[in-house]
Amino acid sequence: MPSGQTLQFGSLVICLDEHTLTLDGKPVNLTPREFELLAFFARHAGKVFSREQLLDQVWGYEFSGDTRLVDMHVSNLRNKIEADGKNPRLLVTVRGVGYRFERSP
* pLDDT per position as a tens digit, 14-58: 999 999 999 999 999 999 999 999 999 999 999 999 998 998 899
The whole-number pLDDT of residue 68 equals 87
Give a yes or no: residue 97 inside a domain. yes
Which pLDDT band, with edges at 50, 70 and 90, does 2 fall under?
very low
Contacts of 5 (CB under 8 A, 6+ apart): 15, 16, 17
Angstrom distance (rounded) from CA 84 to CA 88: 6
Overall number of domains in the chain = 1
Reply yes or no on whether the pLDDT at 3 is more than 50.
no
Angstrom distance (rounded) from CA 69 to CA 84: 21
* pLDDT per position as a tens digit, 14-24: 999 999 999 99
CATH number of the domain to which 83 belongs:
1.10.10.10
Q: How many CB atoms lie within 10 A of CB 41?
A: 25
96-102: average pLDDT: 95
Give a yes or no: residue 63 inside a domain. yes
Give a yes or no: residue 1 inside a domain. no
Contact between 95 and 39 (Cβ < 8 Å) = no
Give a yes or no: residue 44 inside a domain. yes
Give a yes or no: residue 69 inside a domain. yes
Instruction: Quote the domain boundaries for residue 41.
Output: 6-101
Give a yes or no: residue 49 inside a domain. yes
Angstrom distance (rounded) from CA 12 to CA 46: 16
